[in-house]
Structure 1
Amino acid sequence: MGVTALILFGGPVAVGTAAGYLSGGRLSRLAGVRLRWLWLLWLAAAVQVAQLATAGLPGAAGHRLRAPLLALAITLALLWLSLNARGRTWPLKTEVGLALTGAALNALPIALNGRMPYSPSAAAVAGLRAGSQTAKNVPAGHSTRLLALSDTIPLPPLHAVISIGDVLLAIAAALLVATAMHHPAHTARERPQPCPTPSPGNA
């Protein structure tokens, strides 16, 4: 993972951790947030790797597989988030909803354009070479749909271009970490119940 990707993914987590500590939370309480259906997340990651590998396929095979695989990876990730929101506190549910909104805003331009378009002018501001294509990104043109939801926000210090959906996902990640650091050590369901004391007549 490059330095830019590390900052983009790890930055919100670091900000959330700092906010959690400043508000009285503890990192050890993250263990109390039980994550379910983790196999869905691993499956989404595997599909994402397969989607990136389509760039090396000859002919139009990679182009035909790229969008369906990316849609499947996003769907699996959204399903995992939705399942893990069930039974949580309302702050966690709200933050999961924010993450789902960000993911949906990213999925729309990808679904309509096959890959996430990016603004060539924003890429130039960020210090990137405009016009290059990857398995995930394509430069925006006259036929691009939903350009406003595409990668149009330049980050010159990181040499990156992000989308509105990316911003919402980063905010949601920071809030989720900060909120989880206030999670109670034991829930009512997890708290051990006292053993009943036998009556003298049953001894």
Structure 2
Amino acid sequence: MRATALILFGGPVAVGTAAGYLSGGRLSRLPGVRLRWMRLLWLAAAVQVATTSLPDAAERHLRAPLLASAFALALLWLCVNARDRTWPLKTGVGLALTGAVLNALPIAVNGRMPYSLSSAAVAGLRAGSQTAKNVPAGRSTRLLALGDTIPLPPLHAVASIGDVLLAIAAALLVATAMHHPANAAQERNQPCPTPTPGSA
């Protein structure tokens, strides 16, 4: 994986971890956050991977439905795991949902995530190239404002508004999860305090 991808994906997690520690949280509390229906997330990831390996003949007809299915599965997983959570965790999930929807809209109407040619040039990228996930914006591009229009020159990348919200959500979820109380099983395994002489 390229260093840019590691920073884009790992940066928010690192920021969230630092914020969690600075606010008194601990990484040891992360296992206390029980995640439900993980199979939905794995299925969404599998569908997402499948969209990048479609043959040319099927890509035009299957890419949009598969992407929609992957987003729907991921959103359903987030909604399921938002139930019965603290309000900071629900806020993080809400930001993640919003970011995912904002990214899904331009992909749905354009087939791929469009990117601004001028933003790509500012970021130091070769403008005009098309990838399995991105397509340069043109006259027929719709919802470009929700596409990759935010240049990140130090990373040689462009991001979208949805990407920014997802990054904030990731940092918030990690920092909040580091304050999650110990689960009941952990509390039951704690040794009982030894009574002192004279105590009732």
What TM-score, normalized by structure 2, do the two folds share?
0.90
Identity %: 82
SS at match of 1:61: helix
Instruction: Find the aligned partners of 2:130 and 2:65 in 1 and give their Cα distance.
Output: 18
Following superposition, the deviation at residue 161 of structure 1 comes to 0.5
Paired amino acid for 2:49: V
Which runs of 5 or more residues in structure 2 are unaligned?
Answer: 189-200
Mapped to 1, the partners of 2:46 and 2:177 lie a distance apart of 27
TM-score (norm 1): 0.89
Tell me, in whole angstroms, the C-alpha distance in 2 between the residues paired with 1:64 and 1:7: 33
Q: Deviations over 1:114-148 (max 9, x none)?
A: 11100011111111111111111110111111111
Structure 1 CA distance for aligned equivalents of residues 161 and 28 of structure 2: 32
Alpha-carbon distance in structure 2 between the residues aligned to 1:133 and 1:70: 18
- Which amino acid is 2:163 matched to? D
Q: Compute the displacement of 1:79 (Å).
A: 0.7
Structure 2 CA distance for aligned equivalents of residues 112 and 184 of structure 1: 43
Deviations along 1:4-34, one digit per CA (max 9) or x if unpaired, are: 1111000000000000000000000001000
The CA RMSD over aligned residues, in Å, is 1.4
Cα distance in structure 2, aligned partners of 1:190 and 1:80: 26
8 A Cα contact 1:123 1:161, kept in partner? yes
Q: Is the 8 A contact 1:51 1:69 kept in 2?
A: yes
The 5-angstrom pairing of residues 5-154 of structure 1 reads 5-54=5-54, 57-58=55-56, 60-154=57-151
**SS of alignment partner, residue 53 of structure 2:** helix
Shift of 1:90: 1.1
Matched position secondary structure for 2:114: strand
Runs of 4 or more consecutive aligned structure 1 residues displaced over 2 Å after TM superposition: 189-192
- 1:157 partnered with 2:154: yes
CA separation in 2, counterparts of 1:3 and 1:63? 31
Q: How many residues get paired?
A: 188
Paired residue type of 1:147: L
